[in-house]
Amino acid sequence: MKQLITYIAILFYLSSTAQNITSPQIRCLAVLPNGNISVTWQTPPNPAQFGSYQIYAATSAAGSYTQSLSINVYATNNATITGVNANSGAYYLYMRTITSTSVTLPPSDTVRTIFLSPITSSVSIAQLNFSDELPAAQGTSYNVIKEYPVGTWTSLASLPKNANGNINYAYSDTISVCDDTSSYRIEIIDTVLHCTSVSNVRGGRFQDKNKPSTPYVDSVSVINSTPPQVIMGISPAYSQDVKCFMIHVWNINTYTKIDSICNYNQPTTYTTTAYNPAQGPVSLSAISKDSCAGELSIFPSNLQKTIYLHASYDFCNKRAIINWTPYDNMVTGVKSYEIFYSVNGGAYAHLGDTTATVFSQNGLAPGTTYCYYVRAHSIGKTIAGKDTASSTSNLFCITTLNPPLPNVAYLSNVTVNPQQNIDVEWYVNSIDPIGGFTIYRSTSKNGTYSLVKNTAFTRGTGNYTYTDSVVNTNSTEYFYYVVVLDSACKNPAIQTDTSNSILLKANPTPNLTATLHWNDYSKYAGNVTGYNVYRSVNGVFGSPVAFVPSGSNVFVDDLSPYADKEGMFLYYLEAIEGSGNPYGFAEKSWSNYDTVYIDANLYIPNAFDVHGVNKVFLPIGAFVDNADYKLSIYNRWGQKIYETTDPNKGWDGSGHEEDVYAYMVQYKTSVGEYRQRNGTVTLIR
């Protein structure tokens, strides 16, 4: 009866404290180098009811379990179990809590140390197998740790924890040392307390019988020194037993060894001047040689070679065309090419970027040296984990030697010819052929010039003439210049100066005069000394009627001495070039023709005395057309008694009495207008 009462009391106590004190849950088991076990647990709540913790251990899940430790401090959450050897086998553990009233609470979940089985080795492979039974939610992956060389532990891999509850794991490590000892352990981090569970350590002596891994070539590039160098960036091989990098050049479909770099396996560069990257791409490669039996790695499949750049000058379009070979097999691929250029040996500047392998630079100046190189940039970092890789091409220079150009193009004359068209004359001094000319015209010096003619010639030095017939020289002044084209591209090479035609305006003015106005002829290399004025009388030009010095543009011509002429006068001017023309020219430029018409004027007397001063009745005409003149005399009965067509012959009244007679005079003016005058004249005897 007493035992029953005691049992009921325990059940009552457990019922009343179930929400307070519990047994702790083991979170981490770490096997120490001597085989002891470090235990870390999660502290339960309600320390007021705490008496002690007890840890039990066994070498199998079925037991028998023996108490290994008793801990009397509630806040403690870590202890080490001694007297065990977890290096030789797995250990199972659980914990109990003893209350302050000496009640033993139910144990926590049983857990097991991570046990790394003895390592088996095949050819250059260390096979690791391990298992554990740790609490749920403890970590998401196992970390495989390797000790090599002795005292240096390095993380090899992270193995995800199986979600299906499988507690057995395996990992294969490829041996990369020649012949040496390596050790391994397994770790996992608890996600609750962030403590670490650690397995026992296993190791052994292993031999590398594999070929070493091939080093990575970051890039093959050009150093544009004198002479240019080829440089190769080399990243270490993954194999740790690499002793040397063997440098090879790829030529005519085969590798040729040219050098070696030994005694280390670390990032390095290799340079050589034995191959000229300015003559074509240079392919360098590196393989590894291990320290065991001199094994060589295989050659890389991603052969890299320098960028070979070439440029040409398109002198017709005044541009450089830059071509280069693509940079193949950059570790992460080529993102873009960056183009740089220099002018006449100056500093290099950025010209542009492209993903293509051709680029153009326009607007090049003649007689200038341009040098170019390109740089390929990788897409992001290389797989070796380095910064962005790049490769620089060789340097290539061009000099912009344009086609031979004339050194003189001179517009020697612009003149109005007798057909009233304009002759444009120019002179070119060139020892080489030329491609032709383009002739431009405008109606004002600073106005818009239009293309008049595009002509082709092949000879060089000489005088050239073009006649412009689509003009109106009587109303408009015209300005011209000529552009000489080069022989190769028919591009403008040199331009003449600008000259103009002379526009003459002649008008009748009072007192039987004509007034002439004209514009200056503005362009002679020898300057204009003055203007000769020419006048035609009855359609015939004679010697100049006047010379007007340069600086004056007006001339008044007295026409009274020519009153007996028909009254139509034709004028033109002649500009005279002075001395000093550097090309030996002494030109004359003519103006257009302009006509002045003087109106006919007829004086008729009303009487004449056959015995007096005026013995003949003769109308006196000024500027009357003699070809259509007629004088008729009539008596009072209307009978025609006299008629003549000679304007210089009058009526002398012979055979007629003193009386009043009628006359009729018919004539034509200088502008072709027919006129008639009638009246009476008194004959006195």
Say what the pLDDT of residue 6 is.
38
The Cα angle at residue 163 between residues 162 and 165, in degrees rounded to 5: 75
Assign 372 to helix, strand or coil. Answer: strand
Q: How far apart are CA 481 and CA 479, in angstroms?
A: 7
Say what the pLDDT of residue 41 is.
95
Say what the pLDDT of residue 68 is.
94
Say what the pLDDT of residue 175 is.
79
Q: What is the mean pLDDT of each run of 10 residues along the chain (685 residues)?
A: 41 49 93 96 92 96 93 96 95 95 93 91 82 76 92 93 76 81 93 93 83 86 95 84 89 91 83 95 92 83 93 91 95 92 97 97 94 94 67 96 81 96 93 87 95 82 92 96 88 92 94 93 91 90 95 92 80 94 93 87 83 86 75 91 91 90 83 82 86
> How do the domains of the chain map onto residue ranges?
20-206, 216-290, 309-399, 408-500, 504-597, 601-684
Q: Is the dihedral of CA 377, 381, 383, 389 positive or negative?
A: positive
**DSSP assignment of 622-677:** ES-EEEEEEEEEE-TT--EEEEE--TT--B--TT--SEEEEEEEEEE-TTS-EEEE
Q: Are 159 and 170 in contact (CB under 8 A)?
A: no
Say what the pLDDT of residue 5 is.
41
- Give every CB contact of residue 332 below 8 A, 6+ residues apart in sequence: 378, 379, 380, 381, 382, 383, 389
CATH superfamily of 408-500: Immunoglobulins (2.60.40.10)
Per CATH, is 309-399 categorized as 2.60.40.10? yes
pTM confidence score: 0.51
Domains 20-206 and 601-684 agree in fold: yes
Say what the pLDDT of residue 382 is.
62
Assign 430 to helix, strand or coil. Answer: coil
Q: Are 283 and 274 in contact (CB under 8 A)?
A: no
pLDDT digits (tens, 9 = 90+) for 121-171: 766 788 999 988 877 657 889 999 999 888 999 999 999 887 765 678 899
- Give every CB contact of residue 226 below 8 A, 6+ residues apart in sequence: none
Say what the pLDDT of residue 8 is.
43
Q: How far apart are CA 168 and CA 170, in angstroms?
A: 7
Topology adopted by domain 601-684: Immunoglobulin-like (2.60.40)
User: Phi and psi for 11 in degrees, rounded to 5?
Assistant: -65, -40
Side-chain half-sphere exposure of 244, counting CA atoms within 13 A: 15
* CATH code of domain 504-597: 2.60.40.10
Q: Is 669 buried (19+), middle (13-18) or exposed (0-12) by CB count in 10 A? A: buried
Q: Are 523 and 538 in contact (CB under 8 A)?
A: no
Say what the pLDDT of residue 51 is.
94
Which of the four CATH numbers 2.70.98.10, 3.40.50.2300, 3.40.50.880, 2.60.40.10 does domain 20-206 have?
2.60.40.10
Give the H/E segment covering residue 596: strand 594-597
